[in-house]
Amino acid sequence: MLIKNISILFGDNLDYVSKTDVRISNNKIKKISSKIQPITKEDSIDCSGLLMIPGFINAHTHIGDSIGKDVSLNKTVDEKIHPVFGAKSKILKNTSDENLGNFMKNTCYSMIRKGITTFVDFREGGLDGVNLLKKVTKEIPIRSIILGRMEFYQNSKEIKKNISFPSTKNTEFLNLLKKCDGIGVSGANENSTSVLNHYSKITKLKAIHSAETKQSTSTSKKVTGKSETIRALTLKPDFLVHMTYASKTDLQKSSKKTRGIVICPRANSALAEGIPDIELMQKSGCTLALGTDNVMINSPDMFREMDFIWKVTMGIHKKRIDAKEILKMATVNGGKILNKPIGVIQSGKIADCIFLDKHALDLEPMHDSHASIVHRASESTIKAVMIGGKLVHGKL
Closest CA to 338 of 57, 116, 27: 57
Would you state the pLDDT for residue 89?
Answer: 73
Would you state the pLDDT for residue 300?
Answer: 97
Would you state the pLDDT for residue 84?
Answer: 67
Q: What does the buried/exposed string (b/e) look like for 148-175 if buried means 16 or more CB atoms within 10 Å of the residue's CB?
A: bbbbebbeeebbeeebebeeeeeeebee
Predicted confidence band at 88 (pLDDT cuts at 50, 70, 90)? low
**Average pLDDT over every residue of 162-171:** 97
- CATH fold of 56-338: TIM Barrel (3.20.20)
**Average pLDDT over every residue of 204-225:** 97
Amino acid at 91: I
Closest CA to 24 of 391, 331, 335, 358: 391
Would you state the pLDDT for residue 137?
Answer: 96
Q: Is residue 215 scored above 70 in pLDDT?
A: yes
Q: What is the pLDDT of residues 12-46, one digit of tens each?
A: 999 999 999 999 999 999 999 999 999 988 999 99
Contact predicate 119/144, CB 8 Å = yes
Would you state the pLDDT for residue 90?
Answer: 73
Which H or E element spans position 386?
strand 382-387
The DSSP-derived string for 211-277 is S-SHHHHHHHHHHHSS-HHHHHGGG--SEEEE-TT--HHHHHHHHHHSSEEEE-HHHHHHTT-----
Which H or E element spans position 316?
helix 302-317
Contact predicate 150/173, CB 8 Å = yes
What global pTM score does this model have?
A: 0.95
* Alpha-carbon distance values, 189 to 153, 185, 293 (Å): 9, 10, 19
Predicted confidence band at 76 (pLDDT cuts at 50, 70, 90)? confident
Q: Specify the domain boundaries for CATH 2.30.40.10 within the chain.
A: 2-55+343-394
Would you state the pLDDT for residue 95?
Answer: 78
Q: Is residue 83 scored above 80 in pLDDT?
A: no
Predicted confidence band at 369 (pLDDT cuts at 50, 70, 90)? very high
Q: Is residue 97 scored above 90 in pLDDT?
A: no
Q: Specify the domain boundaries for CATH 3.20.20.140 within the chain.
A: 56-338
Would you state the pLDDT for residue 80?
Answer: 65
Percent with pLDDT over 90 in the chain = 88
Cβ-Cβ contacts under 8 Å for 159 (sequence gap 6 or more): 189, 191, 192, 193, 223, 224
Homologous superfamily of domain range 2-55+343-394? Urease, subunit C, domain 1 (2.30.40.10)
Contact predicate 205/182, CB 8 Å = yes
